[in-house]
A and B are shown apart, each in its own frame.
Chain A
Amino acid sequence: MAAQLSKEQTALIADRETLKLLATTDESGTPHVVVKQSIHLAEDGNIHYLELLESSRTNHNLVRAIWFDRKVSIAIKGAGKQSFQIKGRPVEVHVTGPLFEKHYVEVRSLLGDVDLAGVWVIEPEEVIDENPEIRRRDEEARRPFFRHLDRLAKNNITDN
């Protein structure tokens, strides 16, 4: 079942200033994390990523992922504290056809004489809010033991 992004997350992923990272794994399971600003949300709720290089490590790892049913992760970080992560699976790559041609034309108009290897479609399975404040409040509510005692002590004890 595909996970949905909130309105705020949708806006963040569409923001040009937002940093977007894609993490894949190689044959031995070693992570490979790269900034990929072409990541964007498609109308059907899936994530699209434009791969420019057929022989890149990311492309090979995505091929492995679609072949052997592996997940990938995407980290999204806005200019402020807004941040979230998507875990999902590559479900398709467009190597020809109207969507491929549209992006091929767009990417070349934006970046000059570059190629396009494929338009990867990643179906989000889990969306995790990575805003540190929200994560902290969530952990303190769910896992109350995971706190150092001095943080809970009376002020007069810790005030030196």
Chain B
Amino acid sequence: MSVALKRTFKGELALNDIVAKYPDVPRLVILKTDVQRRGIHYTERALSIVDPDMHQLRSPYLFGSRDGEIKPLPESLLLRDGTTILVDPTPLEQNPYLVDLVDGRLALVDDGEVIEFVKLWPKPKYYDLLTSSGIPMSHIASARPQRLNIFQSSYCHFWAEHKECRFCDIVNHTKQQKSELGVPVRLKPQDVSETIREALKEPGRFTNICLTAGSVLKGKELFDNEVEFYIETLQAIGENFATKKFPSELISSAFNERQLARLYEKTGLMSYTSDLEVLGEEKFNWICPGKAESVGYQEWKNRLVRAVDIFGRGNVGTGLVGGVELARPYGFISEDDALRSTLDEAESLAENGVTTFFIVWVPRPGSDFRGQENPSLEYFVRLASGLHELRARYGLSIDYNDYRRCGNHPDTDLSRLL
């Protein structure tokens, strides 16, 4: 490792500058955003206090990390305001924050300065159990501090046609997880049902269940098979609840009205997300060629709007990989232009009851955009504020995907006060 190779963020405002410049945005949310943007590196001292009986170690996930490795490191971090930081281990040459041991506590450290004390995620009890078919339950449902993730199928059919989204590494990561950990590529409903049953035995541990997977193009109509997989899985989950509906989110392809109505009527699903990934037709066509060719930008938006009639205002959203709109070589050159374009499009969705949120783009080694750099902290703070303000202006709640029921969106962290 050479210091000269470290990413230096020259010309960008640093954390404290941004905190001072945006006094209406909480420092802890700005910090979370910067930690997600830059990544983390655990020191040996920090790892010495990790207890695999108490702390959740990295479990199977849909996407890979930016060091491209699968290691038994802590899953992630919690800030003292309850904000979750989902963040990957990151090579030191990319200049991540350090997670170090300071006075017996874990702390985020930058340039030798303690920035904030943090905690590790608690390990759920079901992580030690196997399903009746012998699969570790941690391979069936990945936990967050208050949410369960079911990655029902980790193969995306856009990859088969070499039309995958350019920021995405889902299939490369899936192959790695399968060969290194034996994680099943597709889950069986019975395994999911058994895992959820065990997870529910832990009082106060979870508030939401999120299902997501790669796109499945096959079926009588486009995505019909994907819809059937979800209905099967959601019904298996529903066996464990006394109520028909249970707090849940589906992140899937853009389904038509018939498919959405079936999902809503036949399962306990309460909210629906279909990710446009990047706003603006030109950027969408370049960055998401499979989505553009199969459904198209305008129709993807239309399907989101029609989903509002089924799931209700505040229960339909679209996710962005914030920052890819500035990727090379065809992205915006100016952060101001990128922000204006993105917020204008998000407003057109908000007017129709669809809420927009983002994750911080991390250029992953298994993706087409590997080796690129993500935008400035200021860009992400302005994007988070802008999306939050749209929700406030259009009276859109984000309860199904907030700091607690998701934890991966700086903008929905801000919407905690809506």
Report A's interface with B, CB cutoff 8 A: 54, 60, 63-64, 66-68, 91-98, 100-101, 104-105, 108, 116, 118
In whole angstroms, how far apart are the Cα atoms of A24 and B316 in the complex?
A: 33
Residue of A67, A96, A101 near B78 (CB, 8 A) is: A96
Residue of A67, A100, A108 near B81 (CB, 8 A) is: A67
Is A116 a contact partner of B204 (Cβ separation < 8 A)?
yes
In whole angstroms, how far apart are the Cα atoms of A117 and B13 in the complex?
A: 35
Is B417 a contact partner of A60 (Cβ separation < 8 A)?
yes
B27 at interface by CB-CB < 8 Å: yes
Residue of A60, A92, A95, A108 near B146 (CB, 8 A) is: A95
Given A67-B26, A67-B28, A97-B119, A104 and B80 touching (CB < 8 A)?
no
Compute the total of residue contacts between A and B using a CB distance below 8 Å. Answer: 49
In whole angstroms, how far apart are the Cα atoms of A138 and B349 in the complex?
A: 62
In whole angstroms, how far apart are the Cα atoms of A101 and B119 in the complex?
A: 16
Is A66 a contact partner of B81 (Cβ separation < 8 A)?
yes
Is A68 a contact partner of B122 (Cβ separation < 8 A)?
no
In whole angstroms, how far apart are the Cα atoms of A97 and B203 in the complex?
A: 11
Residue of B27, B404, B417 near A95 (CB, 8 A) is: B404
Q: Which residue of A lies closest to B407 (CB)?
A: A95
Which residues of the other chain, B, contact A60 by a CB distance below 8 angstroms? 417
In whole angstroms, how far apart are the Cα atoms of A158 and B216 in the complex?
A: 94
Q: How far is the CB of A123 from chain B (nearest CB, A)?
A: 11
Among A94, A96, A101, max chain B CB count under 10 A is at A96
In whole angstroms, how far apart are the Cα atoms of A116 and B204 in the complex?
A: 8
B228 at interface by CB-CB < 8 Å: no
Is A104 a contact partner of B78 (Cβ separation < 8 A)?
no
Given A60-B417, A67-B26, A95 and B82 touching (CB < 8 A)?
yes
Is A100 a contact partner of B204 (Cβ separation < 8 A)?
yes
Which residues of the other chain, A, contact B205 by a CB distance below 8 angstroms? 96, 101
B238 at interface by CB-CB < 8 Å: no
Is B27 a contact partner of A67 (Cβ separation < 8 A)?
yes
Q: Which residue of B lies closest to A67 (CB)?
A: B26
Residue of B80, B121, B404 near A66 (CB, 8 A) is: B80
Q: Which residue of A lies closest to B81 (CB)?
A: A66
Residue of B27, B121, B202, B417 near A63 (CB, 8 A) is: B417
In whole angstroms, how far apart are the Cα atoms of A110 and B196 in the complex?
A: 27
B416 at interface by CB-CB < 8 Å: yes
Q: Which residue of B lies closest to A107 (CB)?
A: B204
Which residues of the other chain, A, contact B365 by a CB distance below 8 angstroms? none
In whole angstroms, how far apart are the Cα atoms of A93 and B204 in the complex?
A: 15
B145 at interface by CB-CB < 8 Å: yes
Report B's interface with A, CB cutoff 8 A: 26-29, 78, 80-82, 119, 121-122, 145-146, 202-205, 404, 416-417
Which residues of the other chain, A, contact B417 by a CB distance below 8 angstroms? 60, 63-64
Is A105 a contact partner of B203 (Cβ separation < 8 A)?
yes
Q: How far is the CB of A151 from chain B (nearest CB, A)?
A: 48
- In order of increasing CB-CB distance, the 7 nearest A-B pairs are A104-B204, A67-B26, A95-B82, A96-B145, A92-B80, A97-B122, A93-B82
In whole angstroms, how far apart are the Cα atoms of A98 and B80 in the complex?
A: 15
Which residues of the other chain, B, contact A64 by a CB distance below 8 angstroms? 417
Supply 11 A–B pairs (Cβ within 8 Å), ascending by A. Answer: A66-B28, A67-B26, A92-B81, A93-B81, A96-B204, A96-B205, A97-B119, A97-B122, A97-B145, A101-B204, A104-B204
Which residues of the other chain, B, contact A101 by a CB distance below 8 angstroms? 202-205
New A-B pairs, 9, CB < 8 Å, besides A96-B121, A101-B202: A63-B417, A67-B26, A67-B27, A67-B81, A93-B80, A95-B82, A96-B78, A101-B203, A104-B203
Q: How far is the CB of A146 from chain B (nearest CB, A)?
A: 39
Q: How far is the CB of A25 from chain B (nearest CB, A)?
A: 13
Among A54, A67, A94, max chain B CB count under 10 A is at A67
Is A105 a contact partner of B204 (Cβ separation < 8 A)?
yes
Is A96 a contact partner of B81 (Cβ separation < 8 A)?
no
Which residues of the other chain, A, contact B121 by a CB distance below 8 angstroms? 96
Is B203 a contact partner of A96 (Cβ separation < 8 A)?
no
Residue of A54, A63, A95 near B145 (CB, 8 A) is: A95
Q: Which residue of A lies closest to B121 (CB)?
A: A96
In whole angstroms, how far apart are the Cα atoms of A98 and B416 in the complex?
A: 23
In whole angstroms, how far apart are the Cα atoms of A108 and B203 in the complex?
A: 10
In whole angstroms, how far apart are the Cα atoms of A96 and B122 in the complex?
A: 8
Is A68 a contact partner of B204 (Cβ separation < 8 A)?
no
In whole angstroms, how far apart are the Cα atoms of A93 and B78 in the complex?
A: 11
Which residues of the other chain, B, contact A92 by a CB distance below 8 angstroms? 80-81
Which residues of the other chain, B, contact A100 by a CB distance below 8 angstroms? 204
In whole angstroms, how far apart are the Cα atoms of A63 and B78 in the complex?
A: 15
Is A63 a contact partner of B122 (Cβ separation < 8 A)?
no
